[in-house]
Amino acid sequence: MADAFDVVVIGAGPAGEVAGARAAEAGLSVALVEHELLGGECSYWACIPSKALLRPGDARWLAEHAAGVRETLKGPIDARAVLAQRDAMVSHYNDDSQVKWAEDAKLKVIRGTGKLTGPRKVRVESKDGTVRELEARKAVVLATGSRPRIPDVPGLRDAKPWDNRQGTGAQQVPKRLVVLGGGAVAVELAQAWRSLGAEVTLAQRGKGLLSRAEPFAGEQVAQALRDAGVQVRLGVEATRVQRPGGKGEVTVTLSNGEEVRADEILVAMGRVPRTDGLGLETVGLQGGKPVAVDDQLRAKGVEGGWLYACGDVNGRNLLTHMGKYQARMVGDVIAGKQAKAWADAKATPQVVFTHPQVASVGLTEAKAREAGIPVRTVEKHLQDVSGTSLMGKGLTGTVKWVVDEKRRVLVGATFTGPEVGEMLHAATIAVAGEVPLDTLWHAVPSFPTMSEVWLKLMEDYGL
């Protein structure tokens, strides 16, 4: 006999937890199925540990710009203390507090691997082989996230490369690390391990780093990595990896003929949705690719509209906060409220936590032009305002606005520089809220904060 719930959520990462909690808040009974740790990739092997590894290097970089503090800095960062703090931030890979949170939110936690067996039916197999059949009266939510993409480079798999799990969870700093990729994972982890003493080489296929951001952002991050001693190779691919027996020294041959030797190799080449083995074919869908959804996060092509997918698994926006945003919509839609996810199409914020940080929202200039928007851009330097000089001598940064000239609203903004992640939300409000520039003119930034750069941008725009 199947146990019946109003909602069955498969996957308890940030998206699954929030979808379940939102539905439970509306009075629905919810089963939350998880086969590893409640909290998902983000809490233990992605966002949290990577930021814990980056923060000390960032703090030191800021301190190096503070007269009177710089002179007192002696010796390298204490890597052992940083790794211990990382372990504390991931609760030593224990999810007791998350389970308590879920139970307090009235979610029924079911441990095991969930799989669809037909419309509204989920089978959960636990590690000891026990099988439990569940039935969803209203909805099933897929929130199974993503796993790293390991491309078919000859020898790469046999070399037992690090992925984000070892890349954020290693207990020792490798002497030499080679990083393949040039997206957020690659730049953040390259900088983090370099700050802890590793000799790092980063090899990126594309012409620049952070290819979805404004080009100046990737250029500044590349320069910062180089300044910190990272060997940055752009426009090259790994063509072969050699590591006999999958341990010891690894040799990576690059497409320019160069051979890089290292003690570990980190693959940071994107993600694939976890949809294989999920029983999608039992409801007429195909595994191995993202679950396509509409703006209410309903899986397309499933009769009856009872299947939803939020977070990385639908491939819309691989960011924790956007997965949670979609999850709030899912919970509301299942509870019968009107809800539609539109922000992830036009106002997605993202912060890359390198130094300089890269904080962006909405469209880049290139994307806005591609969309046929009549674009005008405004660009200013952070060092033009007193707040930046006060934060640290010699600190710099760039802010670029992308304005829809017809509607006189911001459609995108990018900031680089120290702590700019904390400045991003103002831009997110302006973009999501389509605040007219003539109204923004009356949003006065405080003196002496870095946000005064908004004033400079508005003046340059002609307000």
Ligand X SMILES: NC(=O)c1ccc[n+]([C@@H]2O[C@H](COP(=O)([O-])OP(=O)(O)OC[C@H]3O[C@@H](n4cnc5c(N)ncnc54)[C@H](O)[C@@H]3O)[C@@H](O)[C@H]2O)c1
Q: Which residues bind ligand X (CB under 6 A)?
A: 151, 180-186, 188, 204-206, 211, 237, 268-271, 318-319, 350-353
- C-alpha angle 454-62-214 in degrees, rounded to nearest 5: 45
> Phi, psi at residue 408, to the nearest 5°?
50, 50
* 181 is an annotated ligand-binding site residue: yes
Which of ligand FAD, ligand X, none sits in contact with 57, Cβ below 5 to 8 A by type? Answer: none
Q: Where are the alpha helices (H) located in 65-183, listed in sequence order?
A: 79-89, 96-104, 164-169
Q: Among 458, 454, 397, 398, which Cα is nearest to 62's? A: 397
CA gap 152, 138 in Å, rounded: 41
Positions in 146-175 near ligand FAD (CB under 6 A): 146, 164, 168
Q: Which stretch binds ligand FAD (CB under 6 A): 54-62, 83-91, 131-139, 142-150?
A: 142-150
Q: In degrees rounded to 5, what are phi and psi of residue 67?
A: -60, 135
User: What does 144 bind: ligand FAD, ligand X, none (CB cut-off 5 to 8 Å by kind)?
Assistant: ligand FAD
Q: Tell me the helix, strand and coil percentages in the chain, rounded to 5.
A: 35, 25, 35
Our CB check for ligand X shows the closer of 137 and 149 to be: 149
Nearest Cα residue to 333 out of 302, 303, 299: 299
Using CB under 6 A, count the residues that bind ligand FAD: 37
HSE value, Cβ hemisphere, 13 Å, CA-based, for 448: 11
Closest-CB residue for ligand X? 183
Q: Does 10 bind ligand FAD (CB under 6 A)?
A: yes
Q: Is 188 annotated as a binding residue?
A: yes
Q: Flag whether 182 is marked binding.
A: yes
The answer to whether 260 is a known ligand-binding residue is no
Is there a binding annotation on residue 434?
no
Binding mask 284-323 for ligand FAD (x = CB under 6 A): ---------------------------xxx----xxxx-x
Which does residue 56 touch among ligand FAD, ligand X, none (CB within 5 to 8 A, set by kind)?
Answer: none
Does 180 engage in binding with ligand FAD (CB under 6 A)? no
List of residues 6+ apart from 111 with CB closer than 8 A: 33, 34, 35, 126, 127
Is the CB of 181 or the CB of 331 nearer to ligand X? 181
Residue with Cβ nearer ligand X (285 or 319)? 319
Instruction: Report whether 57 belongs to an annotated binding site.
Output: no
Residue placing its CB nearer to ligand X in the complex, 112 or 273: 273
CA separation for the pair 225, 219 (Å, rounded): 10
- Please, what sign has the CA dihedral across residues 313, 316, 322, 324? negative
Helix (H), strand (E) counts: the chain? 15, 21
How open is the CA angle 101-105-106, to the nearest 5 degrees? 120
**Phi (first) and psi of residue 346, to 5 degrees:** -135, -10
3-state secondary structure of 64: helix
Q: Residue 33 touches which of ligand FAD, ligand X, none (CB < 5 to 8 A by kind)? A: ligand FAD
Under rule CB under 6 A, residue 50 binds ligand FAD: yes
Q: How far is the CB of 290 from ligand FAD (least distance, A)?
A: 11
* Residue 113 is a binding residue for ligand FAD (CB under 6 A): yes
Tell me: is residue 183 an annotated ligand-binding position.
Answer: yes
User: Whose Cβ is closer to ligand X: residue 184's or residue 368's?
Assistant: 184
Query: Taking the mean position of all CA atoms in its chain, how far away is CA 9?
Result: 22
Alpha-carbon distance of 341 to 326, in angstroms, equals 6
Residue numbering of the annotated binding site for NAD(+): 181-188, 270
User: Where on the chain is the footprint of ligand FAD (CB under 6 A)?
Assistant: 10-16, 33-36, 40-42, 46-47, 50-51, 113-114, 143-146, 164, 168, 185, 274, 278, 311-313, 318-321, 323
Residues at the binding site are 51, 114, 144-146, 181-188, 270, 312
